[in-house]
């Protein structure tokens, strides 16, 4: 494969790989891994940090044969790991199936999203990784291993949000359910006081809820995604908590065309055309940006909001938009929502790292004491060596890495910095 240095989607990371590969068969992938000194997979490159990077061999899996096998008996689908959610969702819906949740954009790969604990929103919605029932991966010697949820000795709960450090995932099995429709409504002008006082009501008002804010004004947007088979698909009234029901489509970032966004104004449509904010055939978000995100216990939401409102004068000048979402607890060892219902505080910043990083640091200074954990795929100023200590199962994950990959062929600098005692 060509040896020009690839960059991530945002363009803020140039990968340092000595070699790049795009195998066309699993056997070819196995040989690449067996022969490599250090190897990592790259998904669609939507992470904002060096989690996918390596100075050895970097492998893209989107050249492997495409696989989407639905098993109605177990209500699962097994897919090739490099598949994008957009491709999978369309296929599933056409055959009467659905996933429980999606992220804000459908362009990301299944394996890449699950390994960083990518999430959507909803008080009852877990991370996308929680849908994983099995993974098949190539280990450091080129051997194939399958880890299944029903086999406790496989320790699947540790192996899904795995930072790419256990092996190169070739196939993922996900839970599916019957397809469903969602109607999306947007409210504007929610005040900061109402947001803090009524957050439980707001986040519980639909199957999936996002609040967009700049932490400085009283013009917050609430995006409600209501599942028509479980909820009233109608809006909550012309005004709700002092906010107004929008009468035209909106983009979460002021000034960008809503044509990039999934359909609003309450028009019901398939789950995969409403749960993400952005359409698969348009640039998601703004395209020129940096992102950071912190995940906290949901019980800390009100205190966190007030702390961020006090910082609003520093946040707003370097911000494009900020988003508040909720995530239901799961059992995945390195999930930021491990065993706690969570609130996720996301920031889409302007592209200028020098101006943005000090503000991320200020945000982290007020949110870390409330139990915040950074998103594995986004920017943080926290010392990497302090991150593992925020997870009660970190020692178990460390052991899992040693069991799968004693010599560290699949570990990169990012993982080694998070687990500095691994050598
Ligand atoms: C515009 C935009 C919007 C976003 N919205 C959301 C959102 O709504 N919610 C959210 O939580 N996050 C969001 N993110 C972050 C994004 O979901 C994560 O960074 C996710 O990991 C990206 O998936 P990817 O396929 O690009 O993975 P990459 O960034 O390519 O890789 C991520 C990690 O996965 C590993 N990996 C990839 N494939 C494999 C494999 N086959 N086997 C083993 N390891 C593998 C890589 O080595 C790396 O460690 C957003 C990012 C962008 C740019």
Query: For the residues 117-142, what does the mean pLDDT come to?
Result: 98
DSSP 351: S
Does the structure show a pLDDT above 80 at 196?
yes
Query: For the residues 69-79, what does the mean pLDDT come to?
Result: 97
Q: Which of 36, 51, 118 is the best mutation target for the ligand 1 pocket, counting ligand atoms within 8 Å of the beta carbon and taking the most?
A: 118
When computed from its CA atoms, the radius of gyration of the chain, rounded to whole angstroms, is 21
Residue 334: the pLDDT is: 98
Residue 173 pLDDT grade (very low, low, confident, very high; cuts 50, 70, 90): very high
Q: Retrieve residue 172's tokens.
A: 């993922």
Same domain (yes/no): 166, 229: no
Least confident of 3-12, 103-112, 264-273: 3-12
Residue 4: the pLDDT is: 65
Where among 129, 150, 178 does a domain terminate? 178
Strands (E), 264-358: 269-270, 290-297, 319-327, 342-349
Residue 422 pLDDT grade (very low, low, confident, very high; cuts 50, 70, 90): confident
Query: For the residues 137-144, what does the mean pLDDT come to?
Result: 98
Does the residue 10 lie in any domain? no
Does the residue 55 lie in any domain? no
Same domain (yes/no): 88, 123: yes
Does the residue 225 lie in any domain? yes
Does the structure show a pLDDT above 60 at 141?
yes
- How far, in Å, is the centroid of ligand 1 from the Cα of 123? 22
* Run of H or E including 359: helix 353-367
Least confident of 22-26, 232-236, 312-316: 232-236
Does the structure show a pLDDT above 50 at 340?
yes
Residue 114: the pLDDT is: 98
Same domain (yes/no): 187, 277: yes
- pLDDT tens track for 261-282: 999 999 999 999 999 999 888 7
Q: What percent of the chain has pLDDT over 90?
A: 92
Q: On the CB side of 76, how many CA atoms lie within 13 Å of its CA?
A: 15
- How far, in Å, is the centroid of ligand 1 from the Cα of 233? 31
Of all protein residues, the one whose alpha carbon is nearest to atom 32 of ligand 1 is: 112
Query: For the residues 126-134, what does the mean pLDDT come to?
Result: 98
Provide the domain count of the chain: 2
Query: Closest ligand 1 atom, CA of 168?
Result: 42
Q: Give the integer Cα–Cα distance in Å for 37 and 55.
A: 10
Does the residue 239 lie in any domain? yes
Same domain (yes/no): 155, 270: no
C-alpha distance from residue 20 to each of 1, 3, 387 (Å):
6, 6, 29
Q: What percent of the chain has pLDDT over 70?
A: 99
Where among 369, 386, 414 does a domain terminate? 369
Same domain (yes/no): 155, 195: no
Residue 1: the pLDDT is: 44
Residues 6+ apart with CB under 8 A from 81: 41, 61, 64, 109, 110, 111, 135, 169, 170, 171, 172
Does the residue 89 lie in any domain? yes
- How far, in Å, is the centroid of ligand 1 from the Cα of 109? 7
Query: Closest ligand 1 atom, CA of 163?
Result: 49
Point out which residues pair with 220 in neighbouring strands: 190
Residue 282: the pLDDT is: 77
Residue 229: the pLDDT is: 95
Where among 369, 395, 415 does a domain terminate? 369
Same domain (yes/no): 360, 259: yes
Does the structure show a pLDDT above 80 at 5?
no
Query: For the residues 353-367, what does the mean pLDDT come to?
Result: 98
- How far, in Å, is the centroid of ligand 1 from the Cα of 219? 30
For tokens 């998601």, what's the residue?
284
Residues 257-282 as b/e (b if ≥16 CB within 10 A, e otherwise) read: eeebbbbbeeebebbbbbbbbbbbee
Residue 423 pLDDT grade (very low, low, confident, very high; cuts 50, 70, 90): low
Residue 233 pLDDT grade (very low, low, confident, very high; cuts 50, 70, 90): confident
Same domain (yes/no): 190, 168: no
Q: Which of 325, 322, 371, 367 is nearest to 349 (CA)?
A: 322
Of all protein residues, the one whose alpha carbon is nearest to atom 36 of ligand 1 is: 112
Look at 305 and 287; give whichever has higher pLDDT.
305
Least confident of 250-254, 334-338, 381-385: 250-254
- pLDDT tens track for 395-420: 999 999 999 999 999 999 999 999 99
Q: The pTM is what?
A: 0.97
Residue 2: the pLDDT is: 45
Residue pair 213/220 in contact (Cβ under 8 Å)? The answer is yes
Average pLDDT, the chain: 96
Look at 220 and 233; give whichever has higher pLDDT.
220
Instruction: Give the chain's end-to-end CA distance (angstroms, integer).
Output: 31
For tokens 């957050």, what's the residue?
199
Does the residue 37 lie in any domain? no
Residue 34 pLDDT grade (very low, low, confident, very high; cuts 50, 70, 90): very high
Residues 6+ apart with CB under 8 A from 377: 46, 47, 48, 49, 51, 116, 118
- How far, in Å, is the centroid of ligand 1 from the Cα of 254? 25
Does the structure show a pLDDT above 70 at 253?
yes
Does the structure show a pLDDT above 90 at 31?
yes
C-alpha distance from residue 318 to each of 162, 214, 353, 358, 384 (Å):
32, 10, 10, 10, 24
Query: Closest ligand 1 atom, CA of 118?
Result: 11
Domain, as residue range, for 142: 68-178
Does the structure show a pLDDT above 80 at 3?
no
Least confident of 54-68, 148-162, 242-256: 242-256
Same domain (yes/no): 212, 301: yes
- How far, in Å, is the centroid of ligand 1 from the Cα of 212? 22
Q: Retrieve residue 58's tokens.
A: 């970097």
What CATH number is attached to the domain comprising 96? 3.30.465.10
Q: On the CB side of 116, how many CA atoms lie within 13 Å of its CA?
A: 30
Query: Closest ligand 1 atom, CA of 119?
Result: 11
Does the residue 28 lie in any domain? no
Same domain (yes/no): 192, 206: yes
Same domain (yes/no): 287, 152: no
- pLDDT tens track for 285-301: 778 899 999 999 999 99
Same domain (yes/no): 284, 317: yes
Q: Which of 43, 107, 145 is the best mutation target for the ligand 1 pocket, counting ligand atoms within 8 Å of the beta carbon and taking the most?
A: 43
- How far, in Å, is the centroid of ligand 1 from the Cα of 44? 7
What CATH number is attached to the domain comprising 214? 3.30.70.2520
- How far, in Å, is the centroid of ligand 1 from the Cα of 153? 27
- How far, in Å, is the centroid of ligand 1 from the Cα of 191? 32
Q: Which residues line ligand 1 (CB under 6 A)?
A: 9-10, 40-47, 51-52, 61, 81, 103-105, 108-109, 111-113, 115-116, 118-119, 163-164, 168-169, 284-285, 375, 377
Neighbours of 406 (CB within 10 A): 9
Query: For the residues 129-156, what does the mean pLDDT come to?
Result: 98
Does the residue 49 lie in any domain? no
Residue pair 113/317 in contact (Cβ under 8 Å)? The answer is no
Residues 6+ apart with CB under 8 A from 328: 122, 123, 124, 125, 126, 337, 341, 342
- How far, in Å, is the centroid of ligand 1 from the Cα of 46? 5
Same domain (yes/no): 161, 186: no
Residue 88: the pLDDT is: 97
Query: For the residues 295-316, what does the mean pLDDT come to?
Result: 98
53-58-59 Cα angle (round to 5) = 130
Q: Which of 55, 112, 349 is the best mutation target for the ligand 1 pocket, counting ligand atoms within 8 Å of the beta carbon and taking the most?
A: 112
């Amino acid at each position: 494969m060509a040896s020009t240095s690839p960059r991530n989607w945002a363009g803020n990371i140039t990968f340092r790989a000595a070699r790049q590969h795009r195998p066309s068969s699993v056997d070819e992938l196995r040989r690449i891994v067996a022969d490599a000194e250090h190897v990592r997979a790259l998904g669609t490159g939507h992470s904002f940090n060096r989690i996918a990077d390596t100075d050895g061999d970097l492998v893209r899996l989107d050249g492997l044969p495409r696989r989407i096998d639905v098993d109605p008996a177990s209500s699962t689908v097994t897919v090739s790991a490099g598949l994008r959610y957009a491709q999978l969702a369309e296929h599933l819906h056409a055959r009467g199936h659905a996933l429980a949740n999606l992220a804000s954009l459908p362009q990301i790969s299944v394996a890449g999203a699950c390994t960083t604990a990518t999430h959507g929103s909803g008080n009852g919605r877990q991370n996308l990784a929680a849908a994983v029932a099995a993974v098949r991966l190539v280990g450091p010697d080129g051997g194939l291993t399958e880890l299944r949820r029903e086999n406790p000795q496989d320790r699947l709960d540790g192996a899904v949000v795995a930072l790419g450090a256990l092996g190169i995932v070739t196939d993922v099995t996900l839970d599916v359910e019957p397809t469903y429709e969602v109607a999306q409504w947007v409210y504007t002008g929610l005040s900061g006081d109402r947001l803090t006082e009524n957050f439980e009501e707001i986040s519980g008002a639909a199957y999936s809820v996002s609040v967009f804010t700049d932490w400085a004004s009283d013009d917050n947007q609430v995006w409600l995604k209501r599942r028509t088979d479980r909820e009233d698909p109608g809006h909550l009234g012309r005004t709700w908590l002092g906010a107004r029901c929008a009468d035209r489509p909106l983009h979460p970032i002021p000034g960008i065309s809503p044509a990039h966004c999934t359909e609003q104004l309450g028009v019901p449509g398939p789950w995969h055309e409403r749960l993400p904010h952005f359409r698969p055939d348009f640039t998601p978000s703004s395209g020129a940006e940096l992102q950071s995100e912190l995940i906290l216990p949901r019980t800390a939401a009100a205190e966190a909001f007030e702390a961020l409102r006090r910082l609003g004068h520093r946040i707003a000048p370097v911000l494009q938009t900020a988003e508040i979402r909720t995530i239901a607890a799961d059992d995945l060892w390195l999930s930021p929502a491990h065993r706690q219902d969570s609130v996720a505080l996301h920031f889409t910043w302007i592209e200028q790292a020098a101006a943005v990083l000090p503000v991320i640091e200020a945000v982290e200074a007020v949110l870390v004491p409330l139990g915040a954990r950074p998103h594995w795929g986004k920017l943080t100023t926290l010392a990497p060596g302090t991150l593992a200590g925020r997870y009660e199962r970190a020692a178990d994950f460390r052991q899992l890495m040693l069991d799968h990959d004693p010599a560290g062929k699949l570990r990169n600098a990012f993982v080694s910095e998070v687990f500095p005692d691994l050598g």
